[in-house]
Structure 1
Amino acid sequence: MIVRKGHLAEMAEGAESAELDFLFSEGRERHFVQGEHLITEGERTDYFYDVLDGTVALARNGRDGRRQILSFLGARQFLGASSTERYPNLATALTPVTAICYPRAALERVLETTPSFGSKFRVVLTRILESSHDHVYTIGQRSAVERVASFLLYLRSNQARFDPVGPRDKSTHIELPMTRLDIADFLGLTIETVSRAFSSLKRSEVITFKDSHSCEIINLEKIRELGGREDFTEHRGRA
């Protein structure tokens, strides 16, 4: 019996085809330790990952050695979608990560033959593009405190949309599995500036820290004011 598991399985609910059966039969669950690369720059785009648990940083390194984190990915998010034969980016596990690895060729065959699944998959790709737009907005012409506020809104939305058991209502509790350096490389700031921005938000009683890897938003309206918008894209359905 073929076991369907993960976000791809959610998207395939109600759809049946030989191509889908083959895709899920080829899926292999893999485990990555903190600091291990899921994909590396220049590697052939032969595989596609459905993240089940943990946090992944998708980044690109410049020739001068500087790193730009492009996004943080967690449960129910995908990794490895590419229009090229080789990955342009580096994906690293920030925490222990579990993901299902699928052959890219098998996935593309399903997209060609199973319209209902393909439609849901295109929605996900659109959301990836929207997330990229949100990132550009976050690191635009904004102060460090405003960037961190926008970052908290970004995490808040993603935590609700991509909760391991499916979309849920947003919470003021924000998980921060990444380091201050990771946040700095995402927001285009220095680690010292990120730390000062968090301290400023704490002193202003906008947020409070439960521990080094989570915070609580005390004043959501102030976070939205600083972030320059009400919130990032709302989650829509389970796709």
Structure 2
Amino acid sequence: MSTVDQTSGFLEELAQDCMTPELEHMFLNGRICHFDLGENIITEGEPTTYFYEIIDGTIALARNGRDGRRQILNFMGPRQILGVASTPGYPNLATALTPVVAIKYTRAHLENALATSPGFASQIRVILTRILESAHDHIYTIGQRVAIERLASFLLYLRSTQARYAKNGPQSPVNELELPMTRLDIADFLGLTIETVSRAFSAMKQKKLIAFKDSHSVKILNISALRELGGREDFTDKRGRTGYEDD
């Protein structure tokens, strides 16, 4: 990891109409950090002294079992926050799946800012609520679906989150998706084996639901059929996924 001088991000944008001296102090002391592919941003048990605002790149939030098996809990990217926890130590591991740029803030500065700016505290509650909603969707996806349905639901999830959390702000959903994660990462997210994920992708290609541009990008060819397979109600704009009509 390398750090440079402070820069501004989306949290500072959110705070413009409710700025306080404590918020200004937090932003002034934020430091931009660069993480290489495969580098850990946070580790399990590490003191929760800092949190991060993701500027660019993709991160896998995961937990390792005693038997060494990994469960990926979430994929995170630009305009999301990482490391806000209620425990003294981080319960999860966060690893860069691509080169990552993030702003590092201290937890103490955040707590002071939340105590003095109700408007900013309200914005943070919305962000954390969306993280909770995403966790609920994930539990439902891996608990109630067969493999190809889980994968379809995952692609719908990516479509919505990549639109909402686009680097330059929320965008309308598109059908060309980035896949910065590996097949193994997807398998560990969906509770499947890598072989099962590969077979499910092949079945979708045969059904002409998707087409691969390369190993890290996929195009949805039939969004209606994908919604039917993955569960249309999972990721609608009514649940605050994109802020745009989900056409």
Whether TM exceeds 0.5 here: the answer is yes
2:33 corresponds to 1:45 = no
* Offset, 1:7: 1.9
2:124 corresponds to 1:121 = yes
> TM-score if structure 2 supplies the norm length?
0.93
- RMSD of aligned Cα (Å): 1.3
CA contact (8 A) 1:207 1:217 kept: yes
CA contact (8 A) 2:137 2:234 kept: no
**Aligned counterparts, 1:211-230, within 5 A:** 211-230=214-233
The letter of the residue matching 2:242 is: H
1:197 aligned residue: 200
3-state SS of paired residue (2:188): helix
2:179 corresponds to 1:176 = yes
2:189 corresponds to 1:186 = yes
1:164 aligned residue: 167
Counterpart of 2:103 (choices 100, 106, 112) is 100
Deviations 1:8-64 (A, max 9, x none): 112112222110110011100000000000000000000010000000000000000
3-state SS of paired residue (2:38): coil
2:238 corresponds to 1:235 = no
The letter of the residue matching 1:67 is: R
More off after superposition, 227-236 vs 160-169? 227-236
1:29 aligned residue: 32
CA contact (8 A) 2:64 2:70 kept: yes
Segments of 4+ in structure 1 off by > 2 A?
233-237
* Offset, 1:78: 0.6
> Residues of 1 paired with 2:21 and 2:183: CA distance?
46
Q: Which runs of 5+ in 1 are unaligned?
A: none
2:89 corresponds to 1:86 = yes
* Offset, 1:3: 6.5
3-state SS of paired residue (1:209): strand
2:112 corresponds to 1:109 = yes
Q: Which runs of 5+ in 2 are unaligned?
A: none
The letter of the residue matching 2:82 is: L
CA contact (8 A) 1:157 1:231 kept: no
CA contact (8 A) 1:11 1:121 kept: no
* Offset, 1:229: 2.1
Deviations 1:79-124 (A, max 9, x none): 0010100000000000000000000100111011001111111000
3-state SS of paired residue (1:139): helix
Deviations 1:174-193 (A, max 9, x none): 11000000000000000000
CA contact (8 A) 2:6 2:29 kept: no
The letter of the residue matching 1:110 is: A
CA contact (8 A) 1:7 1:76 kept: yes
* Offset, 1:231: 4.7
> TM-score if structure 1 supplies the norm length?
0.96
